[in-house]
Structure 1
Amino acid sequence: METALMSNHSTDYPAGILTKETLKSFFAIAEAPDGTLTYAPGYEHIPENWYRRPLGVANEYSATSFVTDVTQMASVVPEALSVGGNTGTVNSFTGADLGNITGGAYQTPDRTDPTKFVCFFYQLSLALLPDFLRSEALGLLQEKIGPFVDPECAKIGK
């Protein structure tokens, strides 16, 4: 899979590679000889011989890289951006009303629209910031993500 998120950056693959085995390790997924997959709660771990991207290099992982990776992932598996949780029983997932978080700027059908996803991520980041960090973090968000945010998105919540 061509994504920087969770890729192994070894000597053999300095640009990074993400394999099924790496993903299965991170998420504690075991594969039986017949090909069935099972989840082993509590066995999630960083894979053996897994190396993060080095800091201070030309292709350092950035906010832009993250947005690109998540947008690419969502185009393949839109459910990956579902926000919500189970409501006390197995398979009882209930999605959150994202319209309440973004003042209607981001709706569930829009999750594969990169512009609207960046707006959603920007607004969610602001919503989760404690007030005492907001001014400093807002400057960082505006510097790193601001160029990708629709000007109308930045007005939401003001």
Structure 2
Amino acid sequence: MPQGPNGYDLTVMHPFRGARYKDSVATNGRYWAGPLTHFAINTATYLFTYHFFANYSTEYPDGFLSEQTLKSFEGVSGERGSFKWKHGAERIPENWYRRQPGNDYGILNFALDAVGALQALPYMAVIGGNTGEPNTFTGVNIADLTGGVFNAATLLEGNNAMCFAFQAVHSAAPDILKGLLGNVVLAVSKLTDALDPILAQLGCPQMAKYDKSLLAKFPGAGAGL
């Protein structure tokens, strides 16, 4: 895989992620791209790999992620075509420098990068999934799902993608926790306490509803996240 100007940076991660998305649609009949899994968790997997593993040296203050650095963090040895992973071999590389103080990567940085990822991969700015067979991907109308608070266009504005993802968790929490925990009310309260500061920091509009009935056709949707 060719490297970008900063090694395995976002110019590399975005197209690699896009290829994995297309492969999932083409091979997994239960593939589901939900607001949390698709916009937050999956996005974080690629963004964090670069932002957290990159070497922030004097030469590369914005970070540089080389193949050797990535292999060291992941416990991988060998050359391309014959990579080997060894349990417990993960190491912080020598001469590796973390982000400088004041250059922290927080929720607002993540929200901005998440929108950048969708702009780089506009065909992934959707919610939906396969309906039981490969290549049956069907999108969900985001405006109908959220009571008109978000739509396909506004999703790419400001922090809306992350707002949508985290508010979906908030809305679906009672159904997710039901049957798993005895005191659902207490569990939801604790989740709310954790999410509210994030939503406040993002400046999220209040989502009117999360209509999970629209997700019934998707076998992989689960709780709808």
Alignment TM class, shorter chain as reference:
0.5 to 0.7
Q: Does 1:6 align with 2:42?
A: no
Between the aligned residues of both structures, percent identity stands at 22
Change (3 A) 1:117 1:76: same
The within-5 A match list for 1:27-46 is none
Give yes or no for contact 1:63–1:145 (8 Å, CA) kept in 2: no
Match of 2:206 in 1: 154
Match of 1:44 in 2: none
Q: Does 1:89 align with 2:133?
A: yes
> SS of 1:156's equivalent?
coil
Match of 2:83 in 1: none
Match of 1:137 in 2: 191
Gaps of 5+ in 1: 23-47
Give yes or no for contact 1:64–1:145 (8 Å, CA) kept in 2: no
Match of 2:180 in 1: none
Between Structure 1 and Structure 2, the one with more helix by share is 2
Cα deviation, residue 84, structure 1: 1.4
Change (3 A) 1:78 1:14: same
What is the root-mean-square deviation of aligned Cα atoms in Å? 3.8
Q: How many residues align?
A: 128
> SS of 1:5's equivalent?
helix
Gaps of 5+ in 2: 1-8, 12-46, 71-89, 178-183, 210-225
Match of 2:147 in 1: 103
Which residue identity does 1:5 align to in structure 2?
F
Larger radius of gyration: 2
Match of 2:43 in 1: none
Change (3 A) 1:115 1:64: closer
TM-score normalised by length of structure 1: 0.58
Give yes or no for contact 1:71–1:117 (8 Å, CA) kept in 2: yes
> SS of 2:138's equivalent?
strand
